Chain A
Amino acid sequence: MHEARGENRPSDTGAGRVGIVFVSHSARLAEGLVELASQMAPATRLIAAGGTADGRIGTSFDAVSAALREANTGRGVVVLCDLGSAILIAATARDFLDDEEREGVYIVDAPLVEGGVAAAVAAEGGADRLGVVAAAESARTSWTAPAVSAESGKSPTEAVMTAPVEAAPDIRYARTVTLINVSGLHARPAAEFVRLANTFPAKVTVNGKDAKSLLSIMGLALVAGATAEIVSADASGQEAVDALADLVESGFGEERA
């Protein structure tokens, strides 16, 4: 059951990036999450620590301890856990690390799957440990997005999409583009989009949502054929908006819808 953990990756995978550990009661859940997040963060060191040493449902102190060491790239380790005792095991394992190793390990209280994917994409983009933690924590509030507003009958996402644009400052720069690729602004394309957005200092929004947050972008649920208004009100924002709009129009290297 441990083939999926580490051995099939070169040991220098993730050098220079924050490492991430997924602790789950289920080995398959942890390994599945590595598989899922690897798709969007192929160069990040993602380590699964799921199940007990003898393959049952549970968490293993020894497996988690080994994973914390394996994930240590020197830039810090962010840990996401499923249920309560996984957090207890992870916290205990961290306490037993050397002082120097322990300093870099941060256990995040966030939804495992959404937070884990967001953390992996942030790490892939070169975020530091606090940036990766913030990305994971953003998953806590992403749950509120799909709720349908009783007044308008529209989800907040739709409401944002159709809301009139607020009084625009003079420097506001916007481009409206259409999603032409099969999967729209979802999964890998969304990750690529967010990674590019994070390379610019300017604040950019897509249909009112933060272009640098994977969960916000994925929450827009922009499918093929949808339009995206990419906006920046920052003085240096034009370059970012153009790069992102060009990326969308390129179709992300995917088949056209």
Chain B
Amino acid sequence: MSLDATWVVEWMRHSARVLAENRAELGTLDREIGDGDHGENMDRGFIAVLSELDAIPDDATPGEVLRRAAMTLISTIGGAAGPLYGTALLKASDAVGSETQLDGASIVALLRAARDGIVLRGKAEVGEKTMVDSWTPAVDAASSAEGAGESPAGILRAAAEAGSAGAEATEPLIARKGRASYLGERAIGHRDPGAQSTALILHAAADAARNA
């Protein structure tokens, strides 16, 4: 079993929907330890991605869809999330190259490249209360699931669940990067909004694969 460009398109559509639904919640998380615009920014970026999807030719590869979504997010999100998610999808696009069917190994490579792109751009490590705290456990879980012979849908589900757990685990942390780092210990007890949006996007990927 493998996933094709339709899955990427559906992943982006599911992401847009879930980010719109959680716009207020992400805004609240961000107001607690940041500048409060994360929900609004993510929603605006993915609304723009939806328009871009309509312009994508039917024969586009998964890599092309990822690349166009990446460019749209970089231009429209504003704030740190634009370059971070944009770079993630751009590196994911590079990782799958011109493949038309993505098997389990390709899915893991895609997720790993996305995470590496975020680390490269944001220079954050695990434990610094950022989206990396959701991405890295997700990549590790995806890799284990692939090793255990799971299908692409099963791999994505494992990644989403580990990503959610990772986002939740940012709550007791002190932030070391971004605006929240100015708060010191006051950031303790609040979930990182970037880790939360990552978990939502990973769940969108799994949901899109379930129907594929």
Contact = CB atoms under 8 A, between A and B. Distances in A.
Interface residues of A, number: 14
Interface in A41-73: 52, 56, 58-62
Contacts of A61: 74-75, 78, 82-83
Contact of A88 (B41, B75, B80, B179): B80
Contacts of B122: 88
Interface string B34-45: 000100010000
A155 interface: no
Contacts of A60: 75, 78
Place the interface of chain B in its size category: 10 to 19
A84 B178 contact: yes
Interface in B35-90: 37, 41, 74-75, 78-80, 82-84, 86-87
A85 B85 CA distance: 13
Contacts of B121: 88, 91-92
A59 to B, nearest CB: 6
A31 B25 CA distance: 34
B177 interface: yes
Contact of A92 (B37, B83, B178, B179): B83
Contacts of A62: 75
Contacts, number: 40
Interface in B115-151: 121-122
Contacts of B84: 88
Given A61-B82, A92-B87, A84 B74 contact: no
B119 to A, nearest CB: 13
A139 interface: no
A89 interface: yes
A85 B87 CA distance: 13
B125 to A, nearest CB: 15
Contacts of A84: 80, 177-179
A61 B201 CA distance: 22
Nearest to B41: A58
A84 B179 CA distance: 7
A84 B175 CA distance: 13
Contacts of B177: 84
A21 B37 CA distance: 25
A145 interface: no
Interface string A70-94: 0000000000000111001101100
A105 to B, nearest CB: 15
Given A84-B179, A88-B122, A91-B121, A58 B79 contact: yes
A90 B188 CA distance: 30
Nearest to A54: B78
A61 B79 CA distance: 9
Nearest to A86: B80
20 contacts: A52-B78, A58-B78, A59-B78, A60-B78, A61-B75, A61-B78, A61-B83, A62-B75, A83-B179, A84-B80, A84-B177, A84-B179, A85-B79, A85-B80, A85-B83, A85-B178, A88-B122, A89-B83, A91-B121, A92-B83
Interface of B: 37, 41, 74-75, 78-80, 82-84, 86-87, 121-122, 177-179
Interface of A: 52, 56, 58-62, 83-85, 88-89, 91-92
Given A84-B177, A89-B83, A92-B83, 4 more contacts: A61-B82, A61-B83, A85-B178, A92-B82
